[in-house]
Amino acid sequence: MDEIIQVRSRGVITLPANIREKYGIKTGDAFRLVDLDGVFALTPMAPMVPELAREIEQARLEAGLSIDDLLHSLREQRQRYSQEKYGDINNIDSMLPAD
């Protein structure tokens, strides 16, 4: 396929409608521009969150952990972090100025 596009003000280019429809390109989709010694290639940026979620889920299953196990561990680690960073937050009165 051979298409001609034009660079407009502020460097904006418009992809032809038939290309956007063919590849399901929507407003806001991100692309990486690769400069191959003067030949430009646009490659879609795949969202990383779904890929990371799949990897975490696979690791969870391989470790034999339930979602409840993960949430419990997360709560424990968050509490440890808070205590290390902020001290004993259960005794908030000791952190307030004296009257």
Residue ranges per structural domain of the chain: 9-44, 49-88
CA angle 34, 46, 50 (to 5 degrees): 160
C-alpha 39/C-alpha 37 separation (Å) is 6
C-alpha 16/C-alpha 91 separation (Å) is 63
pTM over 0.95: no
Neighbour-count burial of 38, counting CB atoms closer than 10 A to its CB (0-12 exposed, 13-18 middle, 19+ buried): exposed
pLDDT averaged over 10-residue windows placed end to end, the chain, 99 residues: 89 93 90 89 80 86 90 88 78 57
